[in-house]
């Protein structure tokens, strides 16, 4: 059924390069996140015409030298259609839908990309894969090797085992997964293709007069409030998760666009620098991979609460964290694990790799660095977290 549908949607013009845009690429390494509502065009099944158009855009960009990774949703919706069942919220049922739908989803991608002589690779990731340093580096090296070999990775969260994602946990949706992947591979662009077309002054599904916001330089409380909690259709995420993803990716040095996946040649136009949807420019220059791993904050084992003075110094001077400014420790962690630094109001300031365990920090909090050895009987350095092992949030 799927192969027949695919064959009917690969058009002659998708195989031709006569009309391809030959203007220079602005972005070379691109992560494209395709949401469920885009893949299904708002229906209860995959829209094969839209998927064929996406593959044609990827093929055209690759001919110009671009490297692309697709982060896809749609497994649960595809499984629901395959089994002819209605929506249900219980986790085991949705895991079954994901398991059934994943094969059909990948078969669709396989057939469509094969029409362009492009090899794809199914890549299922979970938070566990990225939560430790070794897993992070393994995932990074594998994805980069795929790109080097000319393979297009098709990435999805492993819905069959990732319960938090199916429940809609903020860190488990495919929007945030796409940002993690962008950080993994040092992407130049994260294109989040959705059905709403960007960030608006209000929910456009409720307020037709809402206006598109073309550029967001700083993601603050006002921007988060605009995103709200709204979500529509069959997708897990909403605009709020897309804003979270934009914050993570721009913090790692990647430009982000949230744009309509139904706009003609949206991915190609974004890659060439056209301003579709809402642009979130990168907040910093490229970061080395260890800091990207810390920025993802997937492996935080506990919190270190600091006083106002230490919080101010960390924010303004990007200094190391000394024991004198620490008020308390929350959680248990070992030396060398990733922790969060928070201020007295509970706001996260930074994430980093600690030089001391939670038990050791509890004993040396509030003292001067030259007293550490007197208290502990050993010394791992004057800093609890060194600035080279820390990322400000």
What tens digit of pLDDT does each residue of 310-346 get? 999 998 988 999 999 999 999 999 998 889 999 999 9
Instruction: Say what the pLDDT of residue 160 is.
Output: 56
Contact predicate 322/386, CB 8 Å: no
Is the pLDDT confidence value at 161 over 90? no
**Which domains, ranges and CATH numbers included, belong to the chain?**
2-291 (3.40.1160.10), 300-392 (2.30.130.10)
Q: What is the pTM of this model?
A: 0.76
Strands (DSSP E) contained in the chain are 29-34, 67-72, 120-125, 152-157, 189-194, 255-260, 278-280, 303-306, 326-330, 338-342, 348-353, 390-392
Distance, in Å, from the CA atom of 80 to the CA atom of 360, rounded to the nearest integer, reads 51
Q: How far is CA 126 from CA 19, 165, 172, in A?
A: 39, 9, 8
Instruction: Say what the pLDDT of residue 82 is.
Output: 87
DSSP for 268-337? HHHHTT---SEEE--SSS---HHHHHHHHTTT---EEEE-HHHHHHHHHH-PPBPGGGEEEEES---TT-
> Rounded to the nearest 5 degrees, what angle is found at the Cα of 295, between the Cα atoms of 322 and 152?
160
Is the pLDDT confidence value at 261 over 80? yes
């Amino acid at each position: 059924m799927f192969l027949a549908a695919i064959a009917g949607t690969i058009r002659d013009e998708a195989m031709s390069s006569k009309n391809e845009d030959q203007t220079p690429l602005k972005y070379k390494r691109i992560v494209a996140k395709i949401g469920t509502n885009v893949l299904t065009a708002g229906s209860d099944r995959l829209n094969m015409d839209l998927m064929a158009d996406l593959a044609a855009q990827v093929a055209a960009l690759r001919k110009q030298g671009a490297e692309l990774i697709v982060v896809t949703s749609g497994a649960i919706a595809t499984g629901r259609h395959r089994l002819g069942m209605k929506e249900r919220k219980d986790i085991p049922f949705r895991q079954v839908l994901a398991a059934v739908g994943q094969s059909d989803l990948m078969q669709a991608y396989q057939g469509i990309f094969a029409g362009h002589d492009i090899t794809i690779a199914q890549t299922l990731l979970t938070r566990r894969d990225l939560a430790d340093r070794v897993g992070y580096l393994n995932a990074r090296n594998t994805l980069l090797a795929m790109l080097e070999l000319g393979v297009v990775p098709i990435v999805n969260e492993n819905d069959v085992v990732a319960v938090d994602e199916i429940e809609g946990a903020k860190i488990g949706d495919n929007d945030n997964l796409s940002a993690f992947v962008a950080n993994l591979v040092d992407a130049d662009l994260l294109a989040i293709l959705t059905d709403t077309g960007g960030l608006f002054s209000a929910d456009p599904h409720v307020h037709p007069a809402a206006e598109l916001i073309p550029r967001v330089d700083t993601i603050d409380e006002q921007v988060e409030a605009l995103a709200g909690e709204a979500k529509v259709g069959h997708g897990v995420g909403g605009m709020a998760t897309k804003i979270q993803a934009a914050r993570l990716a721009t913090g790692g040095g990647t430009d982000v666009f949230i744009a309509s996946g139904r706009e003609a040649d949206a991915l190609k136009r974004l890659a060439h620098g056209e301003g579709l949807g809402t642009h979130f420019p990168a907040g910093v220059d490229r970061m080395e991979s260890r800091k990207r791993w810390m920025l993802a904050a997937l492996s935080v084992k506990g919190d270190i609460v600091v006083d106002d003075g230490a919080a101010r110094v960390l924010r303004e001077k990007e200094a190391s964290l000394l024991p004198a400014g620490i008020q308390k420790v929350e959680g248990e962690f070992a030396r060398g694990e990733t922790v969060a630094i928070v201020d007295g109001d509970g706001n996260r300031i930074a994430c980093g790799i600690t030089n001391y365990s939670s038990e050791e920090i509890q004993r040396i909090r509030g003292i001067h660095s030259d007293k550490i050895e007197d208290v502990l009987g050993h010394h791992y350095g004057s800093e609890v977290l060194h600035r080279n092992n820390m990322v400000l949030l």
